[in-house]
Amino acid sequence: MSETQTHVIVVEDEPQIRRFICDALQRDGCASFPAGTARQGLDEAATGKAALVILDLGLPDMDGLDFIHNLRTWSAVPILILSARSAEREKIAALDAGADDYLCKPFGIGELLARVRALIRRHWQSGENHPQHRFGDVEVDLLRHIVSRNGEEIHLTQIEYRLLAVLLANSGKVLTHRHLMHEVWGPGRSEQAHYLRIYVGRLRQKLEIDPAQPQHILTETGVGYRFQS
Amino acid sequence: MDVILPARRRGARYLLATLLCIVTTLATAPLRELLDLANIVMLFLLTVFVSAAWLGRGPAVMAAFLGVALFDFFFVPPHLSFAVADAQYLVTFAVMLAVGLITSHLTALLSERTEEARAREHETHALYDLARELGSALAVPQVTEIARRFLDRLTLDMTLLVADTSGKTVSFQEYGGRHLNELGRNFARSAYDRATIVEADSLAGMGMAIAFLPLVGPTQVLGVLALAPRSDDVEQLRSQRSLLEAVASLLAITIERVRYADSAQHSELQVAAERLRTSILSSLSHDLRTPLTSLVGLADTLAQRQPPLPESACETAGIIRDQARAMHHLLSNLLEMARLQAGNMPLNKEWQAFEEVVGSSTRLLAGVLAGRRVEIELPPDLPLVFFDAVLLERVLCNLLENAVKYSRDGARIRLVGEIREASLEIAVDNDGAGFPADRTEQLFDLFARGEQEPAVAGTGLGLAICKAIVVAHGGTIVAENRPGGACVRFTLPLGTPPAMEDEESP
């Protein structure tokens, strides 16, 4: 294990699952640190080397949410949640607590590695700020507030622009409805959750090639949205 | 009303009044020379007053007349004669009689009132005792026994009819031992329906209930109290009507309380059962999902091994992974169905765009749908709809998967949305063999399959889940054949989405 390898902590109490995750990570060139309990996971994270924490929410010694809260008080390392498909509430709570993404069990290794790579890339890039973004044939210049497609300017309202900016700033990350409402409309507007649906719809109309099957502004059903460039 | 002494001693009271007058006369006679006639009158008035206070109105009136007569006979000159020498004594007689009568009336009235007040106090006390006893009652039979004891003291027999409104029509359960006959039941029903007292005087004397008091509780009529006096005295019921009404209302309040206590206990049990079910489901879900997750992951690990395994081994690993995923799919459907069948799964409904679930379903099924031509047609300005996105996504996924399962490679699958009156209608159709014509209804039953001999993998859970979800949203779902294929349509009610302030253009 060389020092240049990316460190990933795998907090999962099921040894078989832990094993294949660690195997896959190592084949992908990461250094994996298995942890069977939350305590071990936190101790491992405290070394400060980790670029990612993969966390199963059903741990025997600590509630997954408490783990995230604890970790977030002193670390900004990305957290990938492993969760059951039907547990939307659990996912939302974990994301609101500071987790970055989730993966539904059972998952294939391909899905796992795609998420892991995206989160690690985000982690390394987090220090850099790009005013220019590009996805599909759309270009966004946050510096000059210009959105254009194939060189042709697209007019966005203030709220649409703000929503797009929040999505771009969190590219690849799942944003819960509540988080987006708070970022775009400010605190105390959560009872107007339908605003978000309408504005996302308008943004898709303007930016997506097929708004019914969006390629960039993706719906995470029951949880929120994810921007994918 | 004769209140001071019982009625059978009425004669004795008149005798006593007479004796009092005679004693007064005898006692006063020796003082005739010493006392002024005006003072003697006073003594006779005192006699009337005492009679009134002690013996009641009738004897007092008699004492007034007797007093005047005795006074005239023994004291007014000429003595021992009813003749009156001086006409002015006629005034004395008149005043004496008037004062005697008025005094006797007032005194008797006063004691009547006192007695009434005492009776009322007694009644109140009895009701208070009844209320206290009822307060500790926990079930209707107990309530019945307490009421029966109370009414027994009033020489009344009772039947308590408690309404059972759980069925389509109201039925009565009778308590209290005495059962009503058909006629009595009809009277009781009429009292219940109109919530007023029904009296059946014509039945008096036949040992049947003749008064039917509705038990009007704070929120509803709870039943009827049927009363049968043991004597054939219809008047008895009349005179005690206000007391009996109070009893009926106490019974109503008690029965209502007992019922609430019952239903509170029942719902507590239900909550406990629900909690148990949920915890069993979630631990089942966790315990079964964990090995499946390992299977999928380990099969992938084998397939991606470096150096690679022989091709056939890789293929086997792929099959293991696919089968594990299929089993997980089945497990999810089963758990979902178990939750839905419990009937009280909370829906997480929100106002949202229907396009979103269409988009997320097709993205989830991208791999499955790859071999088909998928066409989506939704009206451009679809309003927001109120639904649970996760569940609706499951409906669309199940329908699309079915469409894939029952069509050939390259076939067309269409998802069409239309607004029809107050609902959104979604149709998913595919080119293929279609459903068996006579069984489109049963397709939505649990474990029903399109074909008798299942040539295509599946469990028949999918459509049953779709139906449960759509029905929980207040919609309908039907399956039908169209030329060259099959189609499932379902509706979602459209409501009025919450208002939205549009931002001002910058």
Best CA proximity match to B341, nearest among B271, B275, B277, B268 = B277
Please report which helix (H) or strand (E) contains residue A225, including its range. Answer: strand A224-227
Flag if A88 and B324 touch (Cβ within 8 Å).
no
Q: Which of B278, B294, B504 to mutate to test the interface with A (most CBs of A within 10 A)?
A: B294
- Say if the Cβ atoms of B506 and A158 lie within 8 Å: yes
Q: Among B52, B65, B40, B42, which residue's Cα sits nearest to residue B3?
A: B52
pLDDT of residue B368: 85
Q: Using a CB-CB distance cutoff of 8 angstroms, which residues of chain B are in contact with residue A106?
A: 289, 292-293, 295-297, 324-325, 328
Residue of A nearest to B502 (CA): A195
Which of B188, B169, B168 is closest to B178 using CA atoms? B188
pLDDT values of chain B reduced to their tens digit, one per residue, 506 residues = 444 444 456 788 889 989 999 999 988 888 888 888 888 888 888 888 888 888 888 888 888 888 888 888 888 878 888 887 788 888 888 888 888 888 888 887 888 888 889 988 988 898 899 999 888 888 888 899 999 988 888 888 888 988 888 777 888 888 887 788 888 888 888 899 988 888 887 776 677 778 899 998 888 888 999 888 887 667 777 778 888 888 999 999 998 888 888 888 888 888 888 788 778 877 787 788 888 999 999 999 998 888 888 989 999 999 999 899 888 888 888 888 887 776 666 788 899 999 999 999 998 888 888 889 999 998 888 889 999 998 999 999 999 988 888 888 888 999 999 998 889 999 999 888 777 777 777 777 766 555 554 555 555 788 888 988 998 899 999 988 888 888 999 999 998 888 877 775 44
| Contact in structure between B17 and B44 (CB atoms under 8 Å) | no
Please tell me the number of Cα atoms within 13 Å of B269 on its side-chain side.
6
CB of A124 within 8 Å of a chain B CB? The answer is no
Are B391 and B347 a contacting pair, CB within 8 Å?
yes
CA distance A207 to B33: 133
Q: Looking at chain A, which residue has its C-alpha nearest residue B387? A: A222
How far are the Cα atoms of B211, B227, B252 from residue B248, in angstroms, in the given order? Answer: 12, 11, 6
Taking the C-alpha atoms of residue A102 and residue A224, their distance in angstroms, rounded to an integer, is 12
Which chain B positions have a beta carbon within 8 Å of A201's beta carbon?
A: 353, 355-356
* The pLDDT value given to residue B179: 80
Tell me the torsion sign for CA atoms B96, B97, B99, B100.
positive
- Would you state the pLDDT for residue B387? 93
- H or E segment at B319? helix B311-341
Give residue A111's Cα distance to chain centre. 14
Helices B311-341 and B462-472, interaxial angle, to 10°?
A: 40
User: Bridge partners of B171?
Assistant: B164
Q: Would you call A55 helix, strand, or coil by DSSP? A: strand
Burial of A86 (0-12, 13-18, 19+ CB in 10 A): buried
A15 in B contact zone (CB under 8 Å) = no
Contacts 24+ apart (CB under 8 A), B229-236: B229/B155, B229/B156, B229/B157, B229/B204, B230/B155, B230/B156, B230/B157, B231/B155, B232/B204, B232/B205, B234/B201, B234/B204, B234/B210, B236/B155
Residue at token pair 């989506």: B376
The structure tokens listed for B355 are 């396009």
DSSP-derived letter for residue B329 is H
For residue B80, count CB atoms less than 10 angstroms from its CB and return exposed for 0-12, middle for 13-18, buried for 19 or more: exposed
Only one residue has tokens 């409805």, namely A177
Q: Given CB atoms, is A36 within the 8 Å cutoff of chain B?
A: no
Q: Which residues of B touch A27 (CB under 8 A)?
A: 304, 306
Return the residue of B nearest to A12 by Cα: B290
Question: Pick from A20, A194, A197: which is nearest to B294 by CB?
Answer: A20
Among B278, B279, B290, most A C-beta atoms within 10 A, so best to mutate, is B290
pLDDT value of residue B8: 52
Can you tell me the distance from the alpha carbon of B422 to that of B424, in angstroms, rounded to the nearest whole number? 7
CA–CA gap between residue B368 and residue B399 (Å, rounded): 12
**Residue B117 burial (C-beta neighbours within 10 Å; 0-12, 13-18, 19+):** exposed
The torsion angles phi and psi of B199, rounded to 5 degrees, stand at -115, 135
Quick check: A200 pLDDT over 90?
Answer: yes
Residue B484 phi, psi (nearest 5): 80, 15
Q: Quote the ipTM score.
A: 0.87
Q: What is the dihedral of CA B124, B130, B134, B139, to 10 degrees?
A: -140
Q: What angle do helix axes B241-303 and A109-125 make, rounded to 10 degrees?
A: 90
Of the candidates B348, B413, B356, B347, which has an alpha carbon nearest to the alpha carbon of residue B382? B356
Which chain A residue lies closest to B347 (C-alpha atoms)? A222
Query: If we measure between CA atoms, which residue out of B471, B489, B488, B331 comes closest to residue B406?
Result: B488
Flag if B321 and A159 touch (Cβ within 8 Å): no
The whole-number pLDDT of residue B457 equals 53
Residue of B nearest to A106 (CA): B293
E strands, B311-422, are 350-352, 373-377, 385-387, 412-420
Model pLDDT, residue B506? 46
Nearest by CB to A106, from B286, B293, B306: name it: B293
Of the candidates A157, A158, A198, the beta carbon closest to that of B500 is on A198
Residue with tokens 């990933």: A8
pLDDT of B68: 86
Which chain B residue shows the shortest CA-CA distance from A105?
B293
Report the C-alpha gap between B262 and B141 in whole angstroms: 14
Q: CB of A36 within 8 A of CB of A18?
A: yes
Q: Is A104 on the interface with B (CB under 8 A)?
A: no
Mean pLDDT, rounded, of chain A: 88
User: Residues in chain B, how many?
Assistant: 506
Instruction: Give burial (CB, 10 Å; 0-12/13-18/19+) of B285.
Output: buried
Task: Point out the least confidently predicted range of A16-25, A41-50, B176-185, B350-359.
Answer: B176-185
What pLDDT does B450 receive?
A: 55
Q: Is the pLDDT of residue A190 over 70?
A: no
Q: Answer yes or no: pTM beyond 0.80.
A: no
Q: Is B282 helix (H, G, I), strand (E, B) or coil?
A: helix
Kindly state whether A113 is in contact with chain B, defined as any CB-CB distance less than 8 angstroms: no
Q: Tell how strand A6-11 and strand A50-56 pair up.
A: parallel
